Amino acid sequence: MLNLNDILIAAVLTVVIVSIIKYILKTFSVTVTRSAVYSYPPAESEKVLQRCCSLFPTEMIRFNGVLFKRGMVVRVSTDAKKIIEGKFIGINNEKMVCVLTSEYIVAHELDSIKTMDPVG
């Protein structure tokens, strides 16, 4: 027969186990998100820009009520607490957002972007 003490211990253990599972799932989801960073030589920036525009053809996106257009300077923060600042290039049909910085091309999954704000 179960007594009150057994029920309380089971409830506390349940809360602890659920908290651990939630923490593991949150950590795992952050590491699984798709993101790619490529460096490029500054001398080829025009060629890189043209290539990115063809790979990320959608020029506009509405994110958290704000409309972002190709060429806007944006600051993006991700679920993994990374900050990316550069030109918004576009989005593709796989929901990958492209941002061109002075040194890197960054493609990041839209679902793992926490905030995106215009700069300037």
pLDDT, one tens digit per residue, over 2-59 is 889 988 998 998 999 998 888 776 665 544 557 888 888 888 888 888 999 999 999 9
Q: Tell me: the pLDDT tens digits for 54-105?
A: 999 999 999 999 999 999 999 999 888 889 999 999 999 989 999 999 889 9
Q: How many domains does the chain have?
A: 2
Say yes or no: 26 and 56 in one domain.
Answer: no
Say yes or no: 92 and 81 in one domain.
Answer: yes
pLDDT at res. 34: 72
Residue 111 and residue 97 in contact, taking contact as beta carbons nearer than 8 Å: no
Residue 103 and residue 33 in contact, taking contact as beta carbons nearer than 8 Å: no
Say yes or no: 47 and 81 in one domain.
Answer: yes
Say yes or no: 5 and 41 in one domain.
Answer: no
Say yes or no: 53 and 14 in one domain.
Answer: no
